[in-house]
């Protein structure tokens, strides 16, 4: 058995992790178990990406993120939703988005926001397409009689 010196801070974090793992597995764990769990569930990110993430969180507190971990978990969830093809994201430059928002307001449209406008356009197009399909089917049926 080898001995490893760790700081008091690292000791406290390992002890906390040990408690979490014990609670999850309902069996006693060792520091080795905690370290193996940490190594198997951790990812490495470049320091500059972590710094950029931290700076973004600090300068955008209004978004509600309190830690890098929370921000990264949310980013992964959004990416998985997109990749699983449950949603498709359309990127619109912020400047154009704000101009559209202003146009909707200035023109006195019924739309509450750019998102509302886009969703209504999609809904209307899908309804028109459904009607077109019905008319095409009716036409084909009459033609075959």
Query: Domain ranges in the chain?
Result: 8-42, 45-89, 91-145
Is residue 126 exposed (0-12), middle (13-18) or buried (19+ Cβ within 10 Å)?
exposed
Neighbours of 65 (CB within 10 A): 19
Q: In angstroms, what CA-CA distances link 68 with 44, 53, 103?
A: 13, 7, 36
Neighbours of 127 (CB within 10 A): 10
pLDDT in tens, 80-116: 888 887 777 788 999 999 999 999 999 999 998 999 9
Q: What percent of the chain has pLDDT over 90?
A: 46
Q: How confident is the model at residue 101, as a pLDDT?
A: 94
111 backbone dihedrals φ, ψ, rounded to 5°: -80, 140
pLDDT in tens, 4-17: 788 888 888 878 87
| Whole-angstrom distance, CA of residue 68 vs CA of residue 64 | 11
Q: How confident is the model at residue 1, as a pLDDT?
A: 66
CA 27 to chain centre: 33
pLDDT in tens, 126-143: 999 999 999 999 888 888
């Amino acid at each position: 058995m080898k001995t490893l010196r760790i700081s008091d801070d690292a000791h406290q974090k390992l002890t906390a992790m040990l408690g979490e793992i014990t609670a999850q597995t309902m069996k006693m764990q060792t520091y080795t178990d905690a370290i193996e769990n940490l190594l198997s569930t951790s990812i490495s990110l470049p320091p500059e990406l972590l710094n950029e993430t931290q700076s973004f969180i600090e300068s955008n507190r209004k978004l509600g993120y309190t830690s890098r971990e929370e921000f990264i978990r949310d980013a992964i969830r959004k990416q998985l939703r997109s990749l699983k093809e449950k949603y498709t994201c359309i990127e619109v430059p912020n400047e154009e988005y704000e101009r559209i928002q202003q146009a909707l307001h200035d023109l006195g449209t019924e739309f509450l926001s750019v998102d509302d406008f886009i969703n209504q356009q999609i809904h209307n197009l899908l309804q028109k397409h459904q009607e077109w399909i019905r008319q095409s089917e009716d036409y084909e049926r009459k033609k075959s009689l």
